[in-house]
Amino acid sequence: MARTDNDSWEITESVGATALGVAASRAAETESENPLIRDPFARVFLDAAGDGVWNWFSAPKLPPELLESEPDLALQQKSMVNYMASRTAFFDSFFLDATTAGARQAVILAAGLDSRSWRLPWPDGTTVYELDQPRVLDFKAATLAEHGAQPACNRVAVPVYLRHDWPAALRQAGFDPGAPSAWSAEGLMPYLPAASQELLFERVQALTAIGSRVAVEALGPNFLDPEFRAKRRARMDRVRALLADTDPQREVPSTDELWYFEEREDVGDWFGRHGWDVTVTPSLELMAGYGRKAPEQAADQVPGNLFVAAQRTKA
């Protein structure tokens, strides 16, 4: 489904379904032999959403005809699950470190089916603001309430379109820009045009006190590389065609049609220029650090993203 300026979605469609894809990876990791992260709610979301293409992306049991035609697929999928597990662990540690250091406000931009409000041991008095599209947040809250789960913090849903005036909604929901806060943008950047990314950071800058922290999964240098892009597209088209053969009812969307391929300023440089101390960890390094080194033949199939963590030191 092509993007438009004010598009909106259910959890099972367009950008919404990508949140289910990430949940599928977290469910696969949680149910693996030696999980790096445990997200007991990921499977609950998948069960509530029903069968859909999201279940294919981390399916432990791929149809044999698919594996025959695309023998590397199992390794690719395992590498993606390892990538998502490492990414989840990175943002979990980020929030735990920030709240241990004293922040009592967390803001999760594009929260999707991130269940941190329910599963992390937040210190007493922490408020977690979750921003995403209204129907995504409604699905999440309704599914977990039905499951009997209670948030482990003061969770505040802020239904917004992140290209609109979300700071007003956040302040109205109780956020205090004068107190330190911790922010995450995980799995968001490719879904925003470059100008919206810039505006997003300007707004974060306007809402953060000194000492605040931010963590971003930033697009890596190969995101716009035409050769890399063509290879990824060809691989994806092959898998889509094979999946369509296996089940003609199923139309598999092409996720990169949801992305904005535009030049953007390097995220670490942006925060560095605006008075933040920055550390940047490339994805393969992050994964290796968590004991999830990507095998050589799958290394170029793992997103080449950069994990940026920053703390504001200057006004």
Footprint of ligand SAM on 92-151 (CB under 6 A): 110-114, 132-133, 136
Judged by beta carbon, residue 22 or residue 310, the one nearer ligand SAM is: 22
Kindly list the distances between the CA atom of residue 46 and the CA atoms of 27, 117, 140, in Å, as whole numbers in the listed order.
9, 18, 11
Does residue 19 bind ligand SAM (CB under 6 A)? yes
Residue 260: what are its φ and ψ, rounded to 5°? -105, 110
Rounded CA gap, 36 and 32, in Å?
9
What the block records as the tokens of 198 is 């810039």
What the block records as the tokens of 128 is 């977690």
Looking at 24, 188, 200, 242, which residue binds ligand SAM (CB under 6 A)?
Answer: 188
Contact 280, 307 (CB under 8 A): yes
For the bound state, the minimum distance from the C-beta of residue 19 to ligand SAM, rounded and expressed in Å, comes to 4
**Count of residues interacting with ligand SAM (CB under 6 A):** 20
Looking at 41, 54, 83, 191, which residue binds ligand SAM (CB under 6 A)?
Answer: 191
Q: Which stretch binds ligand SAM (CB under 6 A): 10-18, 35-43, 141-149, 298-306?
A: 10-18
> Which run of H or E residues covers position 218?
strand 213-218
> Which run of H or E residues covers position 108?
strand 105-109
Burial class (CB in 10 A: 0-12, 13-18, 19+), 252: middle
Footprint of ligand SAM on 157-186 (CB under 6 A): 161-163, 186
- x-or-dash pattern for ligand SAM, window 251-280, by CB under 6 A? ------------------------------
Judged by beta carbon, residue 188 or residue 294, the one nearer ligand SAM is: 188
Position closest to ligand SAM via CB? 112
Does residue 15 bind ligand SAM (CB under 6 A)? yes
Place of tokens 């609950």: 44
Contact 125, 153 (CB under 8 A): no
For the bound state, the minimum distance from the C-beta of residue 307 to ligand SAM, rounded and expressed in Å, comes to 13
The angle, 0 to 180 degrees and rounded to 10, between the axes of the packed helices 14-30 and 73-100 is 90
Does residue 16 bind ligand SAM (CB under 6 A)? yes
Residue 247 DSSP label: -
Does residue 39 bind ligand SAM (CB under 6 A)? no
Does residue 307 bind ligand SAM (CB under 6 A)? no
Rounded CA gap, 214 and 200, in Å?
12
For the bound state, the minimum distance from the C-beta of residue 262 to ligand SAM, rounded and expressed in Å, comes to 15
Does residue 153 bind ligand SAM (CB under 6 A)? no
Rounded CA gap, 193 and 196, in Å?
5
Judged by beta carbon, residue 37 or residue 294, the one nearer ligand SAM is: 37
DSSP helix/strand/coil, 217: strand
Does residue 18 bind ligand SAM (CB under 6 A)? yes
Contacting residues toward ligand SAM, per CB under 6 A: 15-16, 18-19, 22, 110-114, 132-133, 136, 161-163, 186-188, 191
